[in-house]
Amino acid sequence: MSMREIGRERGRAAAKQVRDTIDELMKRDMRMNAELFPTLGPGHSMAAAVLAYDRERLDCTPDYTKFPEMRGLADRNIGEREGFLDGSGLSPVHAAYHFSFGHYIWKRVNSKHVARYDLATPHTQCTNVFFPQGKDGVVASDNRDDVPRPWYTHLKDYKIGKIPADHKVGWRQGGVSSATLLDDEPACIFPYDPYEFISEDCLGDIREIVKFMSDRRDFFGPGNQIWVDKNLNAVAVEKANVRIAFHWPKVNGAVCITACSYLDPELGAFKKACTRKAAALKGLKAEEDIDWMFFEGCDARHRRLWALTEAEAGRPGGATLWGAFNVVADTEVPFPDRICLAGEKTDPLREPNTNWTLTQQAHVMTGPKRRALYRSIPDADNPKPITTYKPKFTLGEGVKMEPEWQADVDAGRCVLVE
């Protein structure tokens, strides 16, 4: 089968997944980003711009000597658009939105226009933590934060699946948002996803993962991530549009990430310089700017997250399920340092927008003691701090209850979910 036809099949499959919802999402995203970037101007056509940008991406020629795996992708990329149109019955603008809208906003618009987060909804502050040397196996935890909205109806019945006996630890163990105002624009915008082409040999060595992805840094991000090789060696990744930095573990291989923060000195200094420039364009001193205050708070939270993660990783015997859960449920210090959000005004000058931790979970992912703790805010219309709700406890597939865990259930620390 030719690459063009492979692309058409991929496009048809993509269309099947989104054709019933894409029109509403596209209109919402275009409206929101027109508000977020007001200097685009009242005459700016987001639809025409993203269509032109998608065509520009298709016309871009990558360096095939440096990236040989990209050979043939130009035909596949064209085929994907053809298959998407065939499978959806929608317009070329819908296809361009599906394949390139996020890339257009972050890689092109955000590099040239000041994002006015003071005019839009607040940032979120999600978190991931990874302990490869836990007491009972690999342990991971996370929270997901946002402004509660009526359409988060799934929170009422929020439930996680049982961890199977053959569960594999994937090489990407978490990802959160993180972006820089007025960021760099990549030299090449060719449609290419390095996650698809990383080899199994590469995944066996964290240093090879870092090299492969660093060489292709133009083609992914922004966003902070955790990468893990097959030997459970992990690294925390801080990623802007083009620039990238790594935090290597110091205590028993444990790493963590949180949103909207770069603690790497060079990358952090770059972000601060960009934030100062954006504030000046808004006629403000940096210290008076909402974005500056928010990012400073994110950095404070990030530093505390590392301290809590390393303390739990250093626990005698290794990180525990409850310990990992408590890292992401931290409320021991005032906002913005605290990890768990409980209606905080991440933007102190704006009402009534407040951020809440909507979900929390922790897992023992491997071994014979696989199990999980989780909880969520069940009512997005009338949110209360997530720590108000008792965690739920579930056993992995085929795992038998142990007396220590039953004692937690009997004591009311958690609720068993079959």
Tally of domains in the chain:
2
**At residue 323, what is the residue type?**
G
- Show the tokens assigned to 105: 């906003």
pLDDT at residue 418, as a whole number: 87
176 and 50 fall within a common domain: no
Residue 204 located in a structural domain: no
What's residue 393's pLDDT? 98
Whether 302 and 399 share a structural domain: yes
Looking at residue 381, its pLDDT comes to 82
What is the per-residue pLDDT for 151? 65
Residue 216: inside a domain, yes or no?
A: no
Rounded distance, CA 194 to CA 225, Å? 14
Question: Are 176 and 323 contained in the same domain?
Answer: yes
Judging by DSSP bridges, how do beta strands 224-228 and 139-146 pair with one another? Answer: unpaired
The domain containing residue 81 runs over which residues? 3-113
Is there a contact between 211 and 230 (Cβ–Cβ < 8 Å)?
no
The alpha carbons of the chain give a radius of gyration, in whole angstroms, of: 22
HEC per residue, the chain: CCHHHHHHHHHHHHHHHHCCCHHHHHHHHHHHHHHHCHHHCCCCCHHHHHHHHHHHHHHCCCCCCCCHHHCCHHHHHHHHHHHHHHHHCCCHHHHHHHHHHHHHHHHHHHHHCCCCHHHCCCCCCCEEEEECCECCCCEEEEEEEECCCCCCHHHHHCCCCCCCCCCCCCCEEEEECCCCCCCCCCCCCCCCCHHHHCCCCHHHCHHHHHHHHHHCHHHCCCCEEEEECCCCCEEEEEECCCCEEEECCCCCCCEEEECCCCCCHHHHHHHHHHHHHHHHHCCCCHHHCHHHHHHHHHHHHHHHHHHHHHHHHCCCCCECHHHHHHHHCCCCCCCCCCCCCEEECCCCCCCCCCEEEEEEEEEECCCCCCEEEEEECCCCCCCCCHHHCCCEEEECCCCCCCHHHHHHHHCCCCEECC
**Stretches in the chain below the pLDDT threshold 50:** none
pLDDT score, position 349 = 55
143 and 280 share a domain? yes
| pLDDT confidence of residue 42 | 86
Asked whether residue 239 is assigned to any structural domain, the reply reads yes
Q: What is the CATH number of the domain that holds 359?
A: 3.60.60
Q: Which amino acid is at 73?
A: L
Same domain, 394 and 292: yes
Last residue of a domain, one of 87, 113, 139: 113
Q: Which pLDDT belongs to residue 354? A: 79
Q: What is the pLDDT of residue 139?
A: 98
pTM over 0.85: yes
Residues 6+ apart with CB under 8 A from 68: none
Domain boundary among 90, 113, 136: 113
